[in-house]
Amino acid sequence: MTERIVLAYSGGLDTSVAIGWIGEATGAEVIAVAVDVGQGGESLETIRQRALGCGAVEAYVADARDEFANEYAMPTLKANALYQGHYPLVSAISRPVIVKHLVKAAREFGATTVAHGCTGKGNDQVRFEVGIQTLGPDLKCIAPVRDLALTRDKAIAFAEEKGLPIETTKKNPYSIDQNVWGRAVETGYLEDIWNAPTKDIYDYTATPEFPPAPDEVTISFQAGVPVAIDGVKVTPLQAIQELNRRAGAQGVGRIDVVEDRLVGIKSREIYEAPGAMALITAHKHLEDITIEREQARFKATVGQRWSELVYDGQWFSPLKRSLDAFIEDTQQYVSGDIRMVLHGGQAIVNGRRSETSLYDFDLATYDTGDTFDQSMARGFIELWGMSSKVASGRDLRVAGE
């Protein structure tokens, strides 16, 4: 029986050429796998037909938008995950769901190898291959660009020679990856980190310098998940899409950062994540009134480590699974409403309410009705500072000897 290879297929030049390129290099049949995670553009049927037209023996397509929003974006939101304090893991969280479907397709079509279009320089090769090793430890992995010397100029020449049904003459100077959680842009002009991004880079966000009138929005959460916007019930996918539209119109969610890649190099990245950043901001403010102080402090540490694990391709790791359990436990009381104003590139919270809030007005107020017993403060301060006081006394004594 002829060997079969499953290929993560985007419908673009490189992965379209990779179908025939892999076939010629290995003698295997290629099954193209396209997964819709909200990246927009062409329909799955159009992509499926192109894959078959480029020589794939089978084409597996999956509408995974709700799956991605529910099972990948929502855990990211609950963790308030921002890698290095900036990046909402746009690409990093899409790779595990694609991996899941790649392995599923490999089982369905009897493939022994999984192929992806990543280079040897980026993070995604790790995310794909570690995920595949975890979910399908018997499967082999190849990367045509990295392992089979498929460069862009060779891809264009191959496509023209074979008459493949794909545009080969236009070359975008940037590398772009996008899904419903956000959009990532890199390379080209941006590799000089002194260069400011040009307007043509952006697609999910309008220019924040000339915003429309302020947009006030109320987001309702239940156990850490958005369930309504301005009183209208929404699914997680609908919440992200609606805030992509409204926050994007105000220029919210533009991120320009030099980040530390897993392979050890620094890389300049431009991100657009209007819905993600608006939701993370709202979620964090709701946590501020519903999560106990020490729990919240520790959760911030957990969220940072969670972000690093996911960025580094460890979505399916035991540690990440354990951290998921902690984060999920913290979300028990994260229910309520956050009101925020979207305007001029900012999402500013100006109201919060919750039936499970830890904010006690009578304890917090300085006006009549204050129930806080201020006489307790003096003794508390004495005890709180006792260890430092004793240590300071020791230091002075030793210094005087």
Q: Which of 4, 48, 65, 95 is catalytic?
A: 95
Distance, CA of 335 to CA of 338 (rounded, Å): 10
Q: Where are the alpha helices (DSSP H) in 261-385?
A: 274-290, 293-311, 318-330, 361-364, 376-384
Is 377 known to sit in a ligand binding site? Answer: no
Is 220 known to sit in a ligand binding site? Answer: no
Is 7 known to sit in a ligand binding site? Answer: no
Is 366 known to sit in a ligand binding site? Answer: no
Distance, CA of 111 to CA of 337 (rounded, Å): 48
Q: Enumerate the β-bridge partners of residue 62.
A: 35
Is 191 known to sit in a ligand binding site? Answer: no
Q: How big is the chain, counted in residues? A: 401
Q: Residue 79 class from Cβ within 10 Å (0-12 exposed, 13-18 middle, 19+ buried)?
A: buried
Secondary-structure breakdown of the chain: helix, strand, coil percentages, each rounded to the nearest 5 = 45, 20, 35
Q: Which of 4, 14, 50, 267 is catalytic?
A: 14
Degrees, nearest 5: CA angle 310-148-125: 5
Is 16 known to sit in a ligand binding site? Answer: yes
Structure tokens at 97: 């769901």
Structure tokens at 396: 């002075």
State phi, psi for 273 to the nearest 5 degrees. -145, 65
Degrees, nearest 5: CA angle 213-215-216: 140
**What contacts 212, CB < 8 A, 6 or more positions away?**
249, 250
Is 85 known to sit in a ligand binding site? Answer: no
Instruction: Decide the pairing of beta strands 266-272 and 254-260.
Output: antiparallel
Is 251 known to sit in a ligand binding site? Answer: no
175 labelled catalytic: yes
**What contacts 13, CB < 8 A, 6 or more positions away?**
152, 155, 156, 159, 166, 167, 168
SS3 326: helix
Is 8 known to sit in a ligand binding site? Answer: yes
Is 335 known to sit in a ligand binding site? Answer: no
- Cβ–Cβ < 8 Å for 252, 88: no
Is 259 known to sit in a ligand binding site? Answer: yes
Distance, CA of 102 to CA of 60 (rounded, Å): 9
Is 120 known to sit in a ligand binding site? Answer: no
How far is residue 352 from each of residues 141, 343, 358, 362, measured CA to CA in Å? 48, 18, 12, 17
Is 124 known to sit in a ligand binding site? Answer: yes
- Cβ–Cβ < 8 Å for 10, 117: yes
Q: Which of 4, 94, 124, 268 is catalytic?
A: 124
124 labelled catalytic: yes
* Residue in this structure with the two tokens 């009138």, named with its chain if needed: 213
Is 12 known to sit in a ligand binding site? Answer: yes
Is 155 known to sit in a ligand binding site? Answer: no
Q: Which of 66, 146, 147, 175 is catalytic?
A: 175
Is 11 known to sit in a ligand binding site? Answer: yes
Going by the annotation, the residues of the binding site for L-aspartate are: 119, 123-124
Going by the annotation, the residues of the binding site for ATP are: 8-16, 117
Going by the annotation, the residues of the binding site are: 8-16, 87, 117, 119, 123-124, 127, 175, 259, 271
* Catalytic residue positions, numbered: 14, 95, 124, 175
Going by the annotation, the residues of the binding site for L-citrulline are: 87, 123, 127, 175, 259, 271
